[in-house]
Amino acid sequence: MNNIYDLKKTGEIIQKRRKQLHLSLEALAKTCFTTRQTVSKWEKGTGEMTFEQASILCNALGCDMGHLLGEYPELTRQASDICKQTGLSESAVTTLLEWKSSEDRRKFYPDYLSRILDADEAEYMFGCIAEYLTYHRLERDAFDNNDRDFAMELQSMQMARLWSISKDFSNIVEMKLSADEYREEDESNGKA
């Protein structure tokens, strides 16, 4: 590929992803129709690859070319763009994308996540979750600092808040889904 990319950085990406996938050098080499020594050179940043080899490697590692060449940290351009727009982690985006594409999910839970996130109360719910997580972090820090009384007080506050969040969330979901079902029923009856 005529050195249009940083060999060292690409090598680090290859090695990190190979290890994430629990692949040996031999297994990756076999999948890429090359030798263990060639993959080792790629990982060390001392060997170049052809475009065809890079394409096969991307397929084997489950990533886009842009990730392999260090253009973006996420495995795919789609995940990268969503992470930038939302501030979500790659793991969260991957979970959402997998959930969205799941045949079972579409069959049993059609667009529920979108409906809930579209609700006016979604921002409130995210605020409640952030508040709960703050209590949790403070509680953990208090235990780490051997401040048991404060930790127990925080734990009590955290449990009360969790109950309240759970109740609020249930009410919001029920109201949102019920409202959407009535709206859909009206539309199907021509009352829109």
Three-state SS letters, 126-170: HHHHHHHHHHHHHHHHHHHCCCHHHHHHHHHHHHHHHHHHHHHHH
Residue 90 lies in a domain: no
So what's the pLDDT on residue 111?
65
* Reported pTM: 0.56
Using alpha carbons, select from 127, 147, 129, 125 the residue that is nearest to residue 138. Answer: 147
Structure tokens at 44: 């060390």
Per the structure, the count of domains in the chain is 2
61-65, 110-114, 130-134: the lowest-pLDDT one: 110-114
Question: Is the separation of the CB atoms in 18 and 28 below 8 Å?
Answer: yes
Residue at 126 is within a domain: yes
DSSP state of 89: -
| Full domain range(s) for residue 15 | 7-71
78 within some domain: no
Amino acid at 169: F
Same domain, 122 and 55: no
